[in-house]
């Protein structure tokens, strides 16, 4: 047998020195408070094994096949990396803990990115998945089976983004076929895929923390949202005597708020006398919405209450379990007149149906009826892939496009290393391929809806945008922020990923 191809080939663009250097500047932006809140172990890496530099440099002995496909672009990415590290003002290094972490143990078996056969910009998985979806739509079962055969050979949950996309995509297609054949039988294998709900609370926390540390997918929208809350408060006519009530319809699972609480406590004039956070988790039947659910047993209430006490904030925390969004109103959230209500809706509203009946517009009206002082809306900036808006294959293509951005940026963020945390977030994102609740809309369409029920767009303050930009510099340079028409868009490799906007009532 010819020599086995291992997926362990490291990213040839990075040399060991730079990797260790990155490990030194580990914290990037996250404040030490997160350590206090969520660290249960002394190891700063939560038990993650650091990269063994030896593993990387020694596996450069590659097979001739490797030679065939390694292209000549090593230098560019490497220089980008070193550029990033030379921006010292933006990160707070974790004191002391890192050096011990680096020397610990051998690296995990580096089932990292497999650059063989895919040059850096290649997207080959979709070239099998999309034709397969098209064949399903036309009923060409011979072709479906042929493509599934090939996918089965290539897909792997531990290769680079293409291999993972192939794996998740194939599972989604099989699921679709299963549902078609056995409409009343649930697909048992879906239960076993890694996701938030199937993880332990500890793994869930680790995954989310680590992911936000290295991929700005949620970090930037959260950062903008937090600063927008501060902006709304500062723009209020009547002083700062009102209680602040934040309605959290989001996916941050509590990680977003400590930063805000801390900023509130440092406000000139002190924090609001009362801060209320009401979290609306998804109802049980909506568990397919990516990133929305958490493991049973996960509860950040006590943590955040403790943190609030530490920073002298009078916090009232409330979680509205099992209240569907359509039942939200002032009563449900115990709204009182003298509160400053700010709704923070992030990556959840696209799960509300926009077909007959138009629950989505109805919900926006509900929100309007609560007369909030501000609504921060973030969501995926893409076209809908539901049955009404597209055929199976064009919808699937859109979902793949979304997942590709996620997997690709995540692959870059993890520097090709495979680990459980990575698989958990990727498994969560992959739900988008299967979920019935994925009904995205472009930001322009959201804008129309919002305007239609009586909201007006309000520009973000300059320093809100500036801070977000500064934060984004910590991440890979292929992330971009574009401010268009008063909303902030997040782009990856020239493709739109999400948008964030602020609105007030007219």
Q: Are 71 and 121 in contact (CB under 8 A)?
A: no
Residue 424 makes contact with other proteins by CB under 8 A: no
CA–CA gap between residue 177 and residue 265 (Å, rounded): 54
Residue 232 makes contact with other proteins by CB under 8 A: no
Min dist. Cβ of residue 188 to other proteins (A): 9
Q: Are 38 and 139 in contact (CB under 8 A)?
A: no
Instruction: Give the residue, chosen from 101, 194, 216, 447, that forms a contact with other proteins under the rule CB under 8 A.
Output: 194
CA–CA gap between residue 73 and residue 230 (Å, rounded): 44
Residue 178 makes contact with other proteins by CB under 8 A: yes
Instruction: Give the residue, chosen from 37, 56, 132, 193, that forms a contact with other proteins under the rule CB under 8 A.
Output: 193
Residue 153 makes contact with other proteins by CB under 8 A: yes
Stretch that binds other proteins, among 118-126, 324-332, 376-384, 470-478 (CB under 8 A): 118-126
Min dist. Cβ of residue 60 to other proteins (A): 16
CA–CA gap between residue 44 and residue 55 (Å, rounded): 22
Residue 65 makes contact with other proteins by CB under 8 A: yes
Residues 88-117 that bind other proteins (CB under 8 A): 116-117
Residues 24-43 that bind other proteins (CB under 8 A): none
Residue 423 makes contact with other proteins by CB under 8 A: yes
Residue 192 makes contact with other proteins by CB under 8 A: yes
Residue 136 makes contact with other proteins by CB under 8 A: no
* 323-358 residues labelled b (16+ CB within 10 A) or e (exposed): eebeebeeeebebeeebbbbbbbbbbbbbbbbeeee
357 preceded by a cis bond (ω within 30 of 0): yes
Pick from 299, 304, 317, 306: nearest CA to 245: 317
Residue 45 makes contact with other proteins by CB under 8 A: no
Stretch that binds other proteins, among 12-20, 190-198, 334-342, 465-473 (CB under 8 A): 190-198
Pick from 81, 83, 163, 72: nearest CA to 119: 72
Tally the residues of the chain. 506
Q: Are 442 and 383 in contact (CB under 8 A)?
A: yes
CA angle 472, 474, 476 (to 5 degrees): 85
Instruction: Give the residue, chosen from 83, 189, 365, 482, that forms a contact with other proteins under the rule CB under 8 A.
Output: 189
Residue 122 makes contact with other proteins by CB under 8 A: yes
Residue 61 makes contact with other proteins by CB under 8 A: no
- Tell me the helices (H) and strands (E) count for the chain, helix number first: 18, 9
Can you give the binding site for other proteins, defined by CB under 8 A? Answer: 1-2, 4-5, 64-65, 67-72, 116-119, 122-124, 127-128, 141-142, 144-150, 152-158, 162, 167, 171, 174, 177-178, 181, 189, 192-194, 423, 427
């Amino acid at each position: 047998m010819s020599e086995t191809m291992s997926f362990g080939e490291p990213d040839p663009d990075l040399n060991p020195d730079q990797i260790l250097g990155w490990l030194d500047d580990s914290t990037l932006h996250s404040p030490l408070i997160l350590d206090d809140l969520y660290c249960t172990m002394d190891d700063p890496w939560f038990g993650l094994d650091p990269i063994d530099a030896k593993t990387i440099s020694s596996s450069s002995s590659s097979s001739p096949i490797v030679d065939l496909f390694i292209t000549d672009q090593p230098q560019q990415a490497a220089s980008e990396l070193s550029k990033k590290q030379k921006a010292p003002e933006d990160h707070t290094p974790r004191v002391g803990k890192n050096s011990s972490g680096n020397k610990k143990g051998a690296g995990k078996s580096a089932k990292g990115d497999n650059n063989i056969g895919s040059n850096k910009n290649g997207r080959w998985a979709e070239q099998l998945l999309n034709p397969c979806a098209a064949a399903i739509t036309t009923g060409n079962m011979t072709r479906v089976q042929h493509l599934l055969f090939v996918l089965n050979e290539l897909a792997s949950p531990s290769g680079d983004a293409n291999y993972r996309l192939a794996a998740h995509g194939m599972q989604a297609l099989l699921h679709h076929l299963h549902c078609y054949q056995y409409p009343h039988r649930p697909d048992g294998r879906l239960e076993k895929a890694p996701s938030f709900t199937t993880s332990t609370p500890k793994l869930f926390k680790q995954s989310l923390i680590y992911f936000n540390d290295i991929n700005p997918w949620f970090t930037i929208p959260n950062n903008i949202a937090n600063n927008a809350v501060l902006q709304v408060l500062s723009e209020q006519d009547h002083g700062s005597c009102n209680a602040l009530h934040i309605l959290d319809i989001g996916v941050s699972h509590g990680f977003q708020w400590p930063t805000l609480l801390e900023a509130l406590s440092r406000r000139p004039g002190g924090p609001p006398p009362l801060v209320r956070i009401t979290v609306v988790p998804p109802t049980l039947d909506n568990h397919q919405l990516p990133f929305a659910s958490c493991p049973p047993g996960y509860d950040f209430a006590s943590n955040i209450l403790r943190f609030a006490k530490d920073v002298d904030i009078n916090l009232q925390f409330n979680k509205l379990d099992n209240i569907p969004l359509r039942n939200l109103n002032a009563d449900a959230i115990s709204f009182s007149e003298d509160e400053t209500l700010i709704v923070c809706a992030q990556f959840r509203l696209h799960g509300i149906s926009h077909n007959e009946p138009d629950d989505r517009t109805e919900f926006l009206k509900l929100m309007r009826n609560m007369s909030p002082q501000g609504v921060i809306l973030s969501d995926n900036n893409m076209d809908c892939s539901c049955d009404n808006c597209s055929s199976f294959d064009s919808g699937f293509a859109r979902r793949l496009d979304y997942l590709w951005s996620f997997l690709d940026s995540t692959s870059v963020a993890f520097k090709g290393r495979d680990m459980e945390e990575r698989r958990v977030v990727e498994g969560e994102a992959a739900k988008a391929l299967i979920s019935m609740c994925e009904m995205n809309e472009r930001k322009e369409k959201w804008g129309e809806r919002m305007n239609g029920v009586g909201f007006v767009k309000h520009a973000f303050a300059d320093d809100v945008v500036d801070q977000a930009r500064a934060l984004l510099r910590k991440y890979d340079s292929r992330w971009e922020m574009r401010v268009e028409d008063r909303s902030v868009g997040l782009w990856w490799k020239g493709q739109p990923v999400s948008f964030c906007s602020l609105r007030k009532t007219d």
